[in-house]
Structure 1
Amino acid sequence: MTYQNILSELKEQILYVTINREQKLNALNKETLNELADVIAFASSADEVRGVLLTGAGEKAFVAGADISEFSDYTGVQGEELARIGQERVFDAIERCPKPFVAAINGFALGGGLELAMACHIRVASDTSKLGLPEVSLGLIPGYGGTQRLTQLVGKGRAIELIATADMIPATQAEKIGLVNHVVPQAELIAKAEELLNKIKLRAPLAIAAAIKAVNSALAFDENGFETEIKEFGKCFNTLDFKEGTSAFLEKRKPTFSGK
């Protein structure tokens, strides 16, 4: 697929994905969501991808929200379909991806942009970033999993406050309440995201995938997270990576994992 709204480049097993609509503050329109769905599917299935670094073009915005002009005249049925398709193909797909997604938040992360960042497994923000869910200002609520993931990350009280006030908060406050993992100067943002992914690349890929699945199951209403963990733990024993990891430990050398 040829992309018009995102840039995608694979370097040293890290897939760099940049939402490239800088003049529109990288707002999410239908085509951008379609392209994201495609690149997420590629990352999930490609053995050569060990992690994904997701960011926005320029220094003003990660993603400043959804493209409101596309749905301003929607009916309730159309609105529900918009949320359902977007959640399934993009936001839930990122969360369930067996490869870790690191969001490098380089500016405004608002509405659908913050929802996109929250779907990622790890979030790093520049110290100039501002984050928020302003949907109630438009007579809406977050529709791409924002009410759920924000509550999981910061708790019910803070989630309702942020959503109901529609306030933007600075990156330093976002870090304090657990909304982002790290805050760094803008010039160091990509390097910090790469540092995290390069550490993860040294670990066993199948074990990383199992860990993501088990952690996700802790928050799934229809799963027993402990049971998922037990099963995923057991499956790891059948991998070559387990044999390599334990052999390397006993032989006092660094392991070389194959992802098998």
Structure 2
Amino acid sequence: MSVTVQRLDDGIAVLTIDAPPVNLYSLQLHADFDRALDEIVADLPRALLIRAEGRVVSGGVDVAQFHARKSKAETKALYDRMLELPTRIDELPVPTIFAAHALTLTWAFEVAVACDIILASEKAKFGLVERVIGLTPTMGGTQRLAARAGVGRAKEFVFTGDLYPAETMERWNVVNRVLPVEGFDEAVLSFVRSIAAGPTKAFGAAKDILRHFEAGGVPEANAHTTAIASELFDTADLQGGMESFLRDGPGKASFEGR
């Protein structure tokens, strides 16, 4: 299996990509990813960490997958299939964090920007390099990059096909945090634990509100905010959090993700 799921005791699920030598996208890897996501959806964690093994996060795609298509219809069917993967991740109702320890190209970058938060090591680099075969990105990376960094930056990123360091991507508001290479995995897990310890249902509500914002701006989000937030009334975390606040003051509540 090129994609596996490990469950940690604190409600964290760790999804690991491991398809040596450079974690290229293939239909088999996608099928393994789907099975891993099925496992995640069947038993939702309080936070999902997506990471990769190897010297790079991914060196890109298996171009033979594209070249084997013999018509536009076959090609579109492949692209439709590819787009499903980041869409599934984007739709998860729990916090999703992507850890980029090194070079992160094409499909892996498109998965990264479908996650809620991207953590990168100081040596990580990112690129959408489809221009080298005369293609444009097909897995939503262009538009998700534009949502984070702006249309002008997305055009530059796609048109140049250059590799951009983590520091630049943080400045563009694509990467959330750049962490030292030394101790990167430990720092990532510490961050994910801090998210997993929070009110998971409330985080899911925030994601829903922001989806409406992305679809129609502040007015669209405002039209749905109160309905989404009021659904939290019956959650144990909200009721317990309010009781803890009134009894013990702020910052003392413990959340269970329910």
Gaps of 5+ in 1: none
Aligned to 1:45: 42
SS at match of 1:64: coil
Q: 1:220 to 1:37 in 2, by over 3 A?
A: farther
Aligned to 1:26: 23
1:235 maps to a residue whose letter is E
Whether the aligned pair in 2 keeps the contact of 1:124 and 1:189 (CA below 8 Å) is: no
* Cα shift readout 1:214-241 (whole Å, capped 9, x = no counterpart): 1122112599222232211111112222
SS at match of 1:172: helix
Equivalent residue for 1:16, pick from 14, 25, 28 = 14
**Paired-residue identity, %:** 26
**CA distance in structure 2 between the aligned counterparts of 1:217 and 1:82, rounded to whole angstroms:** 28
Aligned to 1:177: 172
SS at match of 1:22: coil
Q: Return the TM-score normalized by structure 1.
A: 0.91
Q: Does 1:236 align with 2:229?
A: no
Alignment of 1:89-238 (within 5 A): 90-220=85-215, 224-238=220-234
Equivalent residue for 1:79, pick from 61, 66, 75 = 75
1:225 maps to a residue whose letter is A
SS at match of 2:57: strand
Q: Does 1:246 align with 2:242?
A: yes
Compute the displacement of 1:121 (Å).
Answer: 0.8
Compute the displacement of 1:44 (Å).
Answer: 2.8
Whether the aligned pair in 2 keeps the contact of 1:44 and 1:99 (CA below 8 Å) is: no
Q: 1:21 to 1:120 in 2, by over 3 A?
A: same
**CA distance in structure 1 between the aligned counterparts of 2:224 and 2:25, rounded to whole angstroms:** 34
Compute the displacement of 1:170 (Å).
Answer: 1.0
1:20 maps to a residue whose letter is D
**CA distance in structure 1 between the aligned counterparts of 2:186 and 2:241, rounded to whole angstroms:** 28
**CA distance in structure 2 between the aligned counterparts of 1:177 and 1:206, rounded to whole angstroms:** 29
Runs (4+) off by over 6 Å = none
Gaps of 5+ in 2: none
Q: Return the TM-score normalized by structure 2.
A: 0.92
